[in-house]
Structures are given as structure tokens and as C-alpha cells.
């Protein structure tokens, strides 16, 4: 395991009001890392420069992982000097990084001064018939306000939205980690897939997440396939409709329960947007379909909680619920965390749940648990780092108090 500080903390002028206060003499510089192409084109035009400079600079940043303007050899010396004075290219600060034996990599970023201002990013490699993939799980917020009862991020509460630079900075850093020692001109992009499944609810940090995903898809930046960028939501219905208007990416839904009574308990946003509304929004999202669209189906995420949502009757309810929604189901073995009020369903239980769904004609997979040797399981990383940074006791007390409230309400 290696631990290293790589860069100073990020600032992002686009979202200065949502960011931590400026901390250094360089803080007033404009961070170009998080700008989408239209934003950067406007920035260059405002400087009195040609807007095609935006595409050139974006390629240096996102395809060659250059942070020093002096290395941007197709930009005139005069413009490089100008940019150096007023801009910077700054990824968030890495406080821990771990590379697992199975190829999984994780980073914990510090995104502010405050207690618990940490977010996590995990990269999971996989080989299959179609070739090799590197999937990056990106965070969108520090903590989360939605308080799902099985999620350690939810137990931390909401602290703040990540800026565009902090969101795209996670992808930048993961790609850079493979290219650090490669000469600039030979560098390549390594990450093939992104899932917005880290900490936070991406649809509640809508503009920053949307612009970051635009950078992912942009040929002048990461040029990722729209089918390989997936946004996961617990069900913020109006924002699902807005997303359908704004961008073509794959959608995953954190279902976790097949009736409103149970889902109200596990995923409290269900009280505001119940299952019928959520499924209808997914159908509208798919309805925007064209042949080339990323929206051929919705991925349904379903965490397997022992004795809670893993009965045969739940599988039957799911078959009915999803019968008119093109979907692929992903069963997720629950990742326990300290004081969690649930256990993981047994392997047999998960397999028989899968069989019921497969027999009914659904594509249903079971998510593999990876990166166990570096604690890279969903939603656990920051908890582990917090342990090492001696915040554990405070955090555990908070979780215990919240669990007590849940028990007394139940
Ligand atoms: N807020 C978004 C995205 C982040 S959570 C959402 O809820 O979809 C990413 C996925 O991890 C979600 O499906 C979430 O339900 C799941 N998850 C959260 N805590 C988990 C745990 N302890 N074990 C397994 N999966 C978990
Ligand atoms: Fe937030 Fe997603 Fe965790 Fe629910 S599962 S608390 S929406 S991060």
C-alpha cells in the first residue's frame, strides 16, 4: 500500500460559491480542469483569443495529462505566458492511494478543510470476450442527503457538492496514474467506462455532473462512448426527465425494494417519488431511444439484504414491476460497514433470486466483490480512511445514534 500527496487542493472558479474558501495565493487562478468545451471556448473568447484554442488546451489536459502550460507546444509562447499568469490545471489532492493485487485501484481525495471532506474513487479492471475494460466509479458529492438505510455515505449526511473540476479530476487522476512515467507524447487514455456510483446522489448535483459527463463524451477530451458512461440514481424523478433532454448516457436505478412500503424504509426518497413514478420516468427515458442511443435499457441495482428484500416473493414482485421496462438487473451483495443494521444475503439466496429472474426472461447478473484487500468495496473507503485519521470514534457514535433513531421509528 502506498500513500502519497500528489497535488495541492483543487479550486474551481465555476462553482466558487459551493467550494471551500480560497486557501492560497494561487487560489484566484481559474482552474481549466473542470471546464466543458463551450465553457472553455467562452473563456478564450473573453480573453480575446480564438475559440479553437479551447480544443487544443483540452487535448493537452485530458489526453496527454499535462498540467504545465510550458509543455503545450502548439500554443504560442505569448499565450502560454498569459495562461500561466491567470490559469491553472489542478486535480484534487490525493490523500491515500492503494493499488490492489487484483488490479483494483482506489484513491481518497481531500476536497476541503472541514472534518470529513474526503471522497473516494475506485477503478475496477475486467477482462471479457469483448476485450479489457477499466471501469471507474466516481463520486459526485461529499456525503449524501438521501440517507438510504444500508449506505455508509448516507450515514455521513450531506456536506457539499463536488465542483466540476473535482468530478472530472477523479477521471483525470485515474488515467494519469497509468501514464505518470510515460513521455507526454506517448500518453493514452486508459479508463474505458465510468459509473457515477461513488459517494453522493449525482442528480442532486445536476449541473456539475452534467458538464463533467459532457467532458467525458467530448472527442477533444476523453471521447468515451455514451454507452460506457452510466449515471446511477436512487430516483430523483424530475431530474431523470431533465437528463433525458440534456445528454445521452446510460441510466442505472438503485431500486433495492419492490414495493413502496419496503422502499420507503430503505430508500427514503421513495416517499417523495414512489415506485410507480420512478418506473414511469425510466420508461420515458428509454422512450427517447434512437438506434444509436445509450438508452436501450435501464440497469436495475438491487442490494441483497439478508432476510429483508431477498425473499422469493420479492423476486416475483420485481418481475411484475419491470415487465414493461427494458432492463438488466444487477444483484449487489451488501457490503457491511460498522454498526450497519443489515447482513449480506447468503450466496445460495442470491443465486436462487437470480434464477427466478433469469427464468422469467431477465438478464440478471451478480456483482462481484473486488478489491477486498484494499477495502475498495462500495461506500467503505472513506470510513476506512477516517479510521486511520482518528475520526472513527466520532463517526461511529453518529452512526450508532442514527441507527438508534431508525430502530425507535421501526
Ligand atoms: N446515489 C446514487 C449513486 C451512488 S450509490 C445511487 O444511490 O444510485 C451507488 C450504488 O451503491 C447504489 O446502487 C447504492 O445503493 C449502492 N450501495 C450503497 N451502499 C451499499 C452497500 N453498503 N452495499 C452494497 N451496495 C451499496
Ligand atoms: Fe445517497 Fe446513493 Fe447512498 Fe442512497 S445509496 S444514501 S442516494 S449515495
323 and 355 in a common domain:
yes
Residue 223 near residue 189 (C-beta atoms within 8 A): yes
Indicate whether 121 belongs to any domain. yes
Which atom of ligand 1 lies nearest, measured to the CA of 146? 1
Place of cell 449487489: 332
Which atom of ligand 2 lies nearest, measured to the CA of 152? 3
Give me the pLDDT at residue 23, please. 42
Does the beta carbon of 148 sit less than 6 angstroms from any atom of ligand 2? Answer: yes
Indicate whether 48 belongs to any domain. yes
User: CATH number of the domain that 331 lies in?
Assistant: 3.20.20.70
Question: C-alpha distances in angstroms, 351 versus 70, 71, 307?
Answer: 56, 53, 14
115 and 79 in a common domain:
no
Indicate whether 6 belongs to any domain. no
Under DSSP, the state recorded for 73 is: T
Residues ≥6 apart with Cβ < 8 Å to 352:
312
219 and 134 in a common domain:
yes
CA distance 316 to 330: 16
| Alpha helix (H) residue ranges in 224-380 | 237-246, 260-266, 275-287, 312-321, 347-359
Report the relative pairing of strands 93-99 and 105-110 from DSSP bridges. Answer: antiparallel
C-alpha cell at 368: 462481484
Does the beta carbon of 40 sit less than 6 angstroms from any atom of ligand 2? Answer: no
Report the relative pairing of strands 141-143 and 87-88 from DSSP bridges. Answer: unpaired
51 and 17 in a common domain:
yes
Place of cell 425507535: 408
User: CATH number of the domain that 27 lies in?
Assistant: 1.10.150.530
Does the beta carbon of 302 sit less than 6 angstroms from any atom of ligand 1? Answer: no
Which of 88, 113, 128 is the last residue before a domain boundary? Answer: 88
202 and 59 in a common domain:
no
pTM: predicted TM-score of the whole model, two decimal places: 0.87
Indicate whether 410 belongs to any domain. no
Residue 214 near residue 36 (C-beta atoms within 8 A): yes
Place of cell 477533444: 220
Indicate whether 361 belongs to any domain. yes
CA distance 111 to 92: 6
313 and 261 in a common domain:
yes
CA-angle at 250, arms to 247 and 252, nearest 5°: 125
CA distance 374 to 396: 21
Residue in 144, 256, 271, 302 to alter for ligand 2 test, most ligand atoms within 8 A of Cβ:
144
| Residue 313: exposure state from Cβ atoms within 10 A (0-12, 13-18, ≥19) | exposed
Indicate whether 73 belongs to any domain. yes
**Bridge partners, residue 123, by sequence:** 105, 136
173 and 133 in a common domain:
yes
C-alpha cell at 302: 438491487
Indicate whether 377 belongs to any domain. yes
Closest by CA position to 217, among listed 179, 249, 170: 249
Give residue 367's domain range: 93-396
Report the Cα 163 to chain-centroid distance in Å: 13
Q: Which protein residue's CA is at the shortest distance from atom 1 of ligand 1? A: 201
What are the pLDDT tens digits along the chain (410 aa)?
A: 333 323 333 333 333 333 333 344 445 899 999 999 999 999 999 999 999 999 999 999 999 999 999 999 999 999 999 999 999 999 999 999 999 998 999 999 999 876 678 999 999 999 877 789 999 999 999 999 999 999 999 988 999 999 999 999 999 999 999 999 999 999 999 999 999 999 999 999 999 999 999 999 999 999 999 999 999 999 999 999 999 999 999 999 999 999 999 999 999 999 999 999 999 999 999 986 555 677 889 999 999 999 999 999 999 999 999 999 999 999 999 999 888 999 999 999 999 999 999 999 999 999 887 555 444 455 555 655 554 443 444 444 555 555 555 455 44
101 and 67 in a common domain:
no
Which atom of ligand 2 lies nearest, measured to the CA of 267? 4
381 and 234 in a common domain:
yes
Which of 88, 110, 141 is the last residue before a domain boundary? Answer: 88
110 and 31 in a common domain:
no
Does the beta carbon of 233 sit less than 6 angstroms from any atom of ligand 1? Answer: yes
Does the beta carbon of 151 sit less than 6 angstroms from any atom of ligand 2? Answer: yes
- Domains contained in the chain, number: 2
Which of 73, 88, 103 is the last residue before a domain boundary? Answer: 88
Q: What is the largest CA-CA distance in the chain?
A: 69
| Alpha helix (H) residue ranges in 93-233 | 152-156, 164-179, 206-217
Does the beta carbon of 234 sit less than 6 angstroms from any atom of ligand 2? Answer: yes
66 Cα–ligand 2 center, Å: 34
404 Cα–ligand 1 center, Å: 22
Residue 180 near residue 122 (C-beta atoms within 8 A): no
Catalytic residues: 120, 378
How far the first Cα of the chain sits from its last, in Å, is: 42
Binding residue ranges for [4Fe-4S] cluster: 144, 148, 151
Q: Which protein residue's CA is at the shortest distance from atom 4 of ligand 1? A: 197
| Residues 287, 293, 297, 303, CA torsion sign | negative
Does the beta carbon of 379 sit less than 6 angstroms from any atom of ligand 1? Answer: yes
Q: Which protein residue's CA is at the shortest distance from atom 18 of ligand 1? A: 151
**Bridge partners, residue 97, by sequence:** 2, 107
Indicate whether 347 belongs to any domain. yes
Which atom of ligand 1 lies nearest, measured to the CA of 201? 1
140 Cα–ligand 1 center, Å: 13
3 state SS of 289: coil
Amino acid at each position: 500500500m502506498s500513500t502519497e500527496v500528489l497535488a495541492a487542493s483543487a479550486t474551481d472558479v465555476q462553482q466558487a460559491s459551493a467550494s471551500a474558501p480560497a486557501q492560497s495565493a494561487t487560489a484566484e487562478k481559474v482552474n481549466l480542469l473542470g471546464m466543458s468545451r463551450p465553457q472553455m471556448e467562452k473563456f478564450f473568447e473573453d480573453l480575446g483569443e480564438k475559440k479553437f484554442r479551447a480544443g487544443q488546451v483540452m487535448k493537452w489536459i485530458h489526453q496527454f495529462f499535462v498540467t504545465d502550460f510550458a509543455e503545450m507546444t502548439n500554443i504560442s509562447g505569448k499565450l502560454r505566458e498569459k495562461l500561466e499568469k491567470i490559469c491553472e490545471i489542478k486535480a484534487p489532492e490525493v490523500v491515500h492511494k492503494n493499488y490492489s493485487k487484483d488490479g483494483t485501484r482506489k484513491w481518497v481525495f481531500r476536497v476541503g478543510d472541514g472534518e470529513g471532506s474526503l471522497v473516494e474513487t475506485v477503478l475496477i479492471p475486467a477482462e471479457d470476450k469483448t476485450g479489457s475494460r477499466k471501469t471507474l466509479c466516481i463520486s459526485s458529492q461529499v456525503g449524501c442527503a438521501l440517507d438510504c438505510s444500508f449506505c455508509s455515505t448516507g450515514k455521513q449526511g450531506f456536506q457539499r457538492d463536488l465542483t466540476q473540476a473535482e468530478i472530472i479530476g477523479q477521471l483525470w487522476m485515474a488515467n494519469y496514474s497509468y501514464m505518470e512515467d510515460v513521455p507526454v507524447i506517448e500518453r493514452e487514455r486508459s479508463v474505458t467506462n465510468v459509473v457515477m456510483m461513488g459517494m453522493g446522489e449525482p442528480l442532486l448535483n445536476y449541473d456539475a455532473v452534467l458538464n463533467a459527463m459532457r467532458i467525458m463524451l467530448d472527442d477533444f477530451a476523453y471521447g468515451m462512448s455514451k454507452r460506457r458512461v452510466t449515471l446511477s440514481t436512487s430516483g430523483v424523478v424530475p431530474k431523470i426527465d431533465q437528463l433525458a433532454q440534456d445528454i445521452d448516457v446510460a441510466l442505472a436505478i438503485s431500486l433495492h425494494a419492490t414495493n413502496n412500503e419496503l422502499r420507503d424504509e430503505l430508500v427514503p426518497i421513495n416517499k417523495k417519488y414512489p415506485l410507480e413514478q420512478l418506473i414511469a420516468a425510466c420508461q420515458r427515458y428509454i422512450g427517447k431511444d434512437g438506434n444509436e442511443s445509450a438508452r436501450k435499457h435501464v440497469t436495475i441495482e438491487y442490494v441483497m439484504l439478508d432476510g429483508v428484500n431477498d425473499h422469493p416473493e420479492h423476486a416475483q414482485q420485481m418481475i411484475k414491476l419491470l415487465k414493461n421496462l427494458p432492463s438488466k438487473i444487477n444483484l449487489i451483495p451488501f457490503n457491511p460497514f460498522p454498526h450497519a443494521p443489515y447482513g449480506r444475503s447468503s450466496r445460495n439466496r442470491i443465486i436462487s433470486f437470480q434464477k427466478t429472474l433469469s427464468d422469467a426472461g431477465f438478464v440478471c447478473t451478480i456483482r462481484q466483490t473486488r478489491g477486498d484487500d484494499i477495502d475498495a468495496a462500495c461506500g467503505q473507503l472513506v470510513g476506512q480512511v477516517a479510521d486511520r485519521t482518528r475520526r472513527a470514534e466520532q463517526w461511529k457514535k453518529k452512526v450508532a445514534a442514527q441507527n438508534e433513531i431508525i430502530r425507535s421509528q421501526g
